[in-house]
Amino acid sequence: MSGAVFLFGKDLRLTDNYGLNNALKENEQILPLYVWDRFFPPPNRFVKSWLLNSLHELGNGLGRIGSRLTVRSGDTANILTNICLQLGINKVYVTEPTYTLGSMEYEKLKHILNCQGVTLVLIRDNNLRFISKEPEIRQFKQFQNLILREMKVGPVTEINQFSSLLSINTLEKDVFDFGETRSRVDFGNSWSPGWEHANSKMNIIDSVDFVNNYKCNRQSLDESRAIRLSPYLVNGEISYNTIFYRGLRQAKEIDSGENPFLRQICWNLFAKHTYKHNPNLHTHSIRPVIDQLPWTSSVDGLKKWKEGLTGYPIVDAGMRELRQTGWIHNRIRMITASFLIKHLLVHWTEGADWFYDNLLDADVPSNYFNWQYMAGSMRESNPYFRIFNPVLQGKKFDPNGKYVKRWIPELRDYPKQLIHEPWKYNPVKTRTNSFQKRKIYPEPVVEHMFARTRALSMFRKYLKKGDN
């Protein structure tokens, strides 16, 4: 009987798993394996809890179809070599681009395994080959058109049964105690990690109404109107084929690419494509001139931004929500990023690293791509003169102050007319106790028009005419 290891990475699902399907077709026995490599960056508490829950659900799913998930922590090459030796097999399957390791690490792993007589089989999802397509596509519109032209969506596949299971009696005990670690973060009613929950979420977007109303819904800070697929995409608990097939098959304007939901998914893929061709995306600006600007080392400003104490309610509410839940709306991400970069003149990497250390959907390509975009450091980017006014942004996207009051209890007694400008609160016309409540919330760390003028002056001085 032929046997092989299937190494899960960022494809933690049994539904529409292109790589696993191919491994099962070519082998009579499969050992499902997940390895947390010692070279991986340590996950934040939200990511770790989500991952452990996701692996637990994946393991349960495999158990129902006659298999079992083996989980290890350590050096991937050593673990795979030992397992293959113990089980007498000589093939390991991984999927690209969902494999956890990058291309350089993959080549190293391939070489090490080859020296031990083990073949590393890289399965490329043909529907996602444009992520690594050469040469690099630098314009989003061109990339989006490529997806619309080459993405061939098909019915969602299911894995219902393993024909036989490789013996794992000789293998050491799994390293993760799911019963202990699953409860470290309470995701509440908003989140349910795992591939089965990801599939249930897709029921929401099957309707024409959702897809066609997405343009309005995506700007709402109301949790009930948000789809929030990002953590599932990061861990591969849902496939892009599933999203395109189920969510967009009934959508209007799919062929034109104007549907906003489709556009958002394309941006996610564009970030991965850009990172594939720019492996230093997380440390260096794609436009080197951005790194050369005289950014400040405002320790106090950065600290207040992280703690949600800038004095601008929409910014502070977002930063507090991030620390407490690990997630914030995309609009809030843009507002908070713009504030740090252009109001406080702090280099974008400081904010990007903080987001990565706190986001539930922490993903190198998407996170650092978006921060570079807001800093004006992408080839196709947010222009330097686009500086979000935190007061106007608050009034537009949180007109009644519902979002601000939820995350900033100091402002819950403020009238909605002043909720985004609390410094205008007049203590003369109020009781003393109300004034004391006002004093709890800080004054703005910087005045908006001053900050805007300062930022524009810096960018105009150092950026060449026509550079944006």
Q: In the prediction, which pLDDT does 151 show?
A: 78
Mean predicted confidence (pLDDT) in 168-183: 48
At 82 the three-state DSSP class reads helix
Considering only 54-58, 104-108, 297-301, which range has the smallest mean pLDDT? 104-108
Q: What is the pLDDT of residues 218-274, one digit of tens each?
A: 777 876 666 788 999 999 999 888 888 876 665 554 445 567 777 888 899 999 899
Mean pLDDT across the stretch 3-22? 92
Binned at pLDDT 50, 70 and 90, residue 147 comes out as confident
What does the pLDDT look like over 413-422, one tens digit per residue? 999 899 999 9
Q: How many CB atoms lie within 10 A of CB 36?
A: 20
% of the chain with per-residue pLDDT over 90: 45
Q: What is the pLDDT of residue 276?
A: 86
Q: Which CATH superfamily is domain 3-124 in?
A: HUPs (3.40.50.620)
Q: Across all residues in the chain, what is the average pLDDT?
A: 83
Q: How many residues does the chain have?
A: 468
**CA–CA distance, 94 with 422 (Å, rounded to integer):** 54
CATH 1.10.3720.10 at 126-156+195-277, yes or no: no
Q: Render pLDDT for 424-447 as a digit per residue (tens, 0 to 9).
A: 876 544 444 554 444 589 999 999
Question: What is the tens place of the pLDDT at every residue in 294-308?
Answer: 998 778 999 999 999
Q: How far apart are the first and last CA of the chain?
A: 61
* Helix/strand/coil for 435: helix
Cα–Cα distance measured from residue 164 to residue 416, given in angstroms and rounded to the nearest whole number: 63
Q: How much of the chain exceeds pLDDT 70, in percent?
A: 81
Sign of the dihedral through C-alpha 336, 341, 346, 351: positive
Position of tokens 């490329």? 124
* pLDDT over threshold 70, residue 166: no
Contact 289, 295 (CB under 8 A): no
- For 21, 152, 162, 424, the CA distances from 17, given in Å and listed in that order, are 6, 15, 14, 55
Give the residue-averaged pLDDT of 196-209.
Answer: 76
Question: CATH number of the domain at 288-462, please?
Answer: 1.10.579.10
What pLDDT score does 350 carry? 97
The pLDDT of residue 42 = 73
Residue ranges of domains in the chain: 3-124, 126-156+195-277, 288-462
The answer, yes or no, to whether residue 360 has pLDDT greater than 90, is yes
